[in-house]
Amino acid sequence: MNAQVKLAAGLVAVMPLIVFADDQPKLSCTKDIVYSQEFLAHYPKAGAACREVVMKNGEKWARFDADVVAVKGSSITANFLNDMKQTVGTLTITASPDTKISVDGQDAKYSSLKPGDKVSVWMPESRLGFYAAPGASESTKFAISHAPTQR
C-alpha cells in the first residue's frame, strides 16, 4: 500500500472523531445550568445576566459580562449586564494585582482595569463565587468586597 493510500485511510478513520468534536451541543443559560438557592438569594437576576455556559473539567461554568464603573486600589465596582446591555446588578470585587481577567475578550492584569472596561467573570454551577476563567482553581476566586445591589 503506498503512502497516499495509507494517509487517505487514516483520514477516513479519524473523520468521525473530528465531526463529533465539532458537533458538541451548545449549552444554554436558560436550560443547562442550575443556580443554587444561595446564589439566587445573592444574585436573583443571574439568569438574565448569564451570557454563555461552557463545560470545563466536567463542570458547567456560566459567564457574566460587566462594565467597570469604578476602580479603587484592588477593588473594582462593575455593573453586570443582561443581553440588552442593561444593568441588572452592581458588585464590588477584589483580586490580587497580577490576577488575569478577560477585558474586551483579551487577557489583562487585574491591576490594569479602568472605568469603561468590559470584563467577563465565570461562576461554576457547583459552588458560589466568581472566577477569571472557567476551570479556575479556588485560589483564583474573586473576593466580594461589597454586597450586591440589584436593579
pLDDT tens per residue, range 60-78: 999 999 999 999 999 999 9
**What pLDDT is stored for residue 72 in this prediction?**
94
pTM of the model: 0.79
pLDDT of residue 141 exceeding 70, the answer is yes
Report how far Cα 72 is from the mean position of its chain's Cα atoms.
23
Where are the domains positioned within the chain?
37-150
**Which cell numbers in the block locate residue 56?**
470545563
**What pLDDT is stored for residue 120 in this prediction?**
95
Could you read off the pLDDT of 76-86 as tens digits, one per residue? 999 999 989 89
Cα–Cα distance for residue pair 121/114, rounded to 1 Å: 16
Contact assessment for residue 114 and residue 53, using Cβ atoms and an 8 Å cutoff = no
Contact assessment for residue 94 and residue 75, using Cβ atoms and an 8 Å cutoff = yes
**Which cell numbers in the block locate residue 15?**
473523520
Cβ-count burial of 34 within 10 angstroms (0-12 exposed, 13-18 middle, 19+ buried)?
A: exposed
CATH number of 37-150: 2.40.50
Amino acid identity of 108?
A
